[in-house]
Structure 1
Amino acid sequence: MPIKIIEGLPVRTKLQQEQVYTIEASRAITQDIRPLKILILNLMPLKEKTELQLLRLLGNSPLQIDVEFLHMSTHKSKNTPTSHLQKFYKTHQEVKDEYFDGMIVTGAPVEKFNFEQVGYIDELKEITDWAQTHVFSRFYICWGAQFALNHYYNIEKLMLSEKLFGVFGYQNIKPEHPYVRGFDDIYQVPQSRHTRIDYEALNGIPDLDILTAHPDFGPDIITSKNQRDLFIFGHLEYDRKTLKDEYDRDAKSGLNTAVPLNYYPDDKPSENPKFQWRSHGHLLFNNWLNETYQNTLYDLEQLHNLK
């Protein structure tokens, strides 16, 4: 089934080339089905790249999905034209009276700041609290996951001595869990971050299940016991060349960023990067959509009655 998007969204052409099925809103309203409503809070600076990455994964599902994009009204984007935001994005004030089956919160390039130093942190807290009664299932990625764990459980993030940058094998430690159903025992995950969460504090939270982990780099996928909150620190949504783009950008800026590990053949940046995580990216998103579809309420306005 296709994903429903706003008329004219530029990345639709690329999705069609990849045979990812989309349907524009004017056609979708003629169909008598109950689609999943998914809200994407896009905190990344290059919003169109992130749109493509997430829609590519959401579109690989037998479910029809209605997607809306959200941006922060208290932050002015320097890398995405205002016209794009005005045409294809909404603010929290515009959706605060709506209900959604799922919400994805992306990462953001602000991890070196304390949470309270982030200019839009109050608005993000407001959206996160609102989602407790207006969204059935929440999916937080990278810095978004670090923020949510801090906001929900007061788990702090800690600076790493050097950037965790590359593709690493993580262990599937709860293969029976529906979010990692079908995962290999060891699966590859792109990582690109300067921080980690406080693992000791995480282990002290009985409401959380750690689903996958690395012996040196700690957890990657975590979920709440009721499975309504999913957290991932890696980037299974990344394209083949996303880490390359980050490395090339840093090198051009004169930063002493190490070559991403286990990414290029023989760790040589002149080679074409290996795409080692694509299947597990599709699997995780499909598992999340399936669990959301199986468990969400038909009448989303009844979310207020859930605890």
Structure 2
Amino acid sequence: MPIRVPEGLPAIDELSRENIFVMGRHRALSQDIRPLRLIVLNLMPLKLATELQLLRLLGNTPLQVDVEFLQTGTHRSKNVSKDHLDRFYRTIDDVEGRRYDGLIVTGAPVERLPFEQVDYWPELVRILDWAAERVWSSLFICWGAQAAMWHYHGIPKRELPGGKLVGVFEHEVVDRSHPLVRGFDDRFRAPHSRYTGNSRADIEASPLDVLAVSAEAGVYLAARPDLREVYITGHGEYERETLDQEYHRDQRAGLDPAIPRNYYPGDDPDRTPEVTWRGHSQLLFANWLNLAVYQNTPFDWLTRD
């Protein structure tokens, strides 16, 4: 089934070339079904790349999904045109009176700042409080997960002692009976790229369930028991070249970055990286959409006052 996105979004052409079914508004309105209404708070600087990454995952399920994009009105990205933001993005002022089946909050390159020093933190708090009341299930990624854990549960983020954690790491499933890991292998790989993290002990002391962990990267997946909050500490949405682009960007900036671990064949940055995480990432997003959103959201959720 298709995803429905705003007409004219640049990602549409690439998704169509990849045989991902993208439906226009007029055709969607002719179908006698209720699509899932999702909104993505895109905090990443390269917004077009993140749009494409997430839409690939959302478009790989049998559910019809209506996707909108949200930005922070108190901070404007320097890496995307104002025209693109004005055309395809809303702010919390635009959507505060609406309900959504699902929300995705991306990561952001601000993790080394205390939360309260992030210039859009008050607005993000407003969005998280709104989501708790008017979004059925929220999926938080990387710094977005750290921010939501702190706001909802007081779980602190901590500077990682070895510097930046970057690479593709092996994880194991902790609770095989949990619906979010249905169909997972016992072990799977996922990318990480961050300077901070949350301790397993802190998460386990909260109302959240720990579902998947890595000996090297820590907790990867956690969720509230009712699936209203789902937390991913890594970047399963990343494409083959994403960590490579980050590595060479940091090289050009003179930061002497570490080579991403378990990413390049032979740890050679001149070789094409291998994708070893795509299958589990697609399954995780499909499980969230199906089991946390579609099967749990009341049919009249969007029309409740």
Shift of 1:301: 4.5
After TM superposition, the structure 1 stretch with the greater mean CA deviation from structure 2, 208-217 or 120-129, is: 208-217
1:160-199 pair list within 5 angstroms:
160-161=160-161, 162-199=163-200
2:136 is aligned with 1:136: yes
Partner of 1:289: 289
Shift of 1:219: 0.7
Partner of 1:76: 76
Question: Any unmatched runs of 5+ in structure 2?
Answer: none
Structure 1's consecutive aligned runs of 4 or more residues displaced over 6 angstroms after TM superposition are none
SS in 2 for 1:128: helix
Shift of 1:35: 0.4
SS in 1 for 2:195: strand
Conserved in 1, the CA contact under 8 Å of 2:164 and 2:194? Answer: yes
Q: Which amino acid aligns with 1:133?
A: E
CA distance in structure 2 between the partners assigned to 1:170 and 1:257 by the alignment: 24
Conserved in 2, the CA contact under 8 Å of 1:96 and 1:130? Answer: yes
CA 1:217–1:24: 2 relative to 1, 3 Å: same
2:264 is aligned with 1:264: yes
CA 1:224–1:38: 2 relative to 1, 3 Å: same
Conserved in 2, the CA contact under 8 Å of 1:134 and 1:303? Answer: no
CA distance in structure 2 between the partners assigned to 1:130 and 1:81 by the alignment: 27
CA distance in structure 2 between the partners assigned to 1:147 and 1:167 by the alignment: 23
1:241-292 Cα deviation digits (max 9, x unpaired): 1000000100111111110000000100011101000001100000001011
CA distance in structure 2 between the partners assigned to 1:303 and 1:112 by the alignment: 39
CA 1:105–1:131: 2 relative to 1, 3 Å: same
CA distance in structure 1 between the partners assigned to 2:189 and 2:117 by the alignment: 32
Conserved in 1, the CA contact under 8 Å of 2:4 and 2:66? Answer: yes
Partner of 1:13: 13
Partner of 2:27: 27
Conserved in 1, the CA contact under 8 Å of 2:169 and 2:217? Answer: no
1:104-153 Cα deviation digits (max 9, x unpaired): 00000000100000000000000100011111000000000000000011
1:1-307 pair list within 5 angstroms:
1-161=1-161, 162-205=163-206, 207-291=207-291, 292-301=293-302
CA distance in structure 1 between the partners assigned to 2:22 and 2:216 by the alignment: 40
Identity of aligned residues (%): 49
Shift of 1:198: 3.5
SS in 1 for 2:167: strand
Conserved in 1, the CA contact under 8 Å of 2:101 and 2:302? Answer: no
Conserved in 1, the CA contact under 8 Å of 2:6 and 2:88? Answer: yes
CA 1:303–1:258: 2 relative to 1, 3 Å: farther
CA distance in structure 2 between the partners assigned to 1:201 and 1:285 by the alignment: 25
Conserved in 2, the CA contact under 8 Å of 1:168 and 1:188? Answer: yes
TM-score for the superposition, normalised by structure 2: 0.97
After TM superposition, the structure 1 stretch with the greater mean CA deviation from structure 2, 267-276 or 293-302, is: 293-302
Q: Which amino acid aligns with 1:158?
A: R
TM-score for the superposition, normalised by structure 1: 0.97
Q: Which amino acid aligns with 2:168?
A: V
Q: Which amino acid aligns with 1:145?
A: A
1:188-236 Cα deviation digits (max 9, x unpaired): 010100001133322211x210000112432110000111110000111
Conserved in 2, the CA contact under 8 Å of 1:135 and 1:303? Answer: no
CA distance in structure 2 between the partners assigned to 1:199 and 1:159 by the alignment: 14
After TM superposition, the structure 1 stretch with the greater mean CA deviation from structure 2, 60-69 or 292-301, is: 292-301
CA distance in structure 1 between the partners assigned to 2:234 and 2:255 by the alignment: 22
Shift of 1:303: 6.5
1:41-91 Cα deviation digits (max 9, x unpaired): 000011000000000000011111000000000001111110000001111
CA distance in structure 2 between the partners assigned to 1:216 and 1:168 by the alignment: 7
